[in-house]
Amino acid sequence: MYFMMLLLLGWGLWGLLTLILWIWALVDIIRSRFESDTTKIIWIVVVILLPVLGSILYLIIGRNQRVA
C-alpha cells in the first residue's frame, strides 16, 4: 500500500513537471520571434503532437533558431 502511494505520487509529480515543461515551451514559442512564421508553426505543432519529446527538442534546437 505504501509503495503504491509513493508510485502514484511519483507519477503525479512526473506528470506535473511534464505539463509545466509543455506549457512553458508553448508560451516561449508563441512569444518569441523566428526567422519565418512557418518555423514558429512547425515548433508549435511538434510540441503539441509530441509533448515531452517536442518540448525537449525545442529546448535543445528551437531556442537557437529564435531571432534576438
Q: Domain boundaries in the chain?
A: 19-65
In this predicted model, which residue has the larger pLDDT, 11 or 51? 51
Beta bridge partners of 34: 66
Phi and psi, residue 13, nearest 5°: -65, -40
Q: How many H helices and E strands in the chain?
A: 3, 0
The predicted structure's pLDDT at residue 16: 85
Q: How far is CA 20 from the centre of its chain?
A: 8
Per residue in 25-68, pLDDT tens?
999 999 999 999 999 999 999 999 999 999 999 999 999 999 97
Give pTM, 2 decimals: 0.82
- List the grid coordinates of 3: 509503495
- List the grid coordinates of 63: 531556442
The predicted structure's pLDDT at residue 10: 74
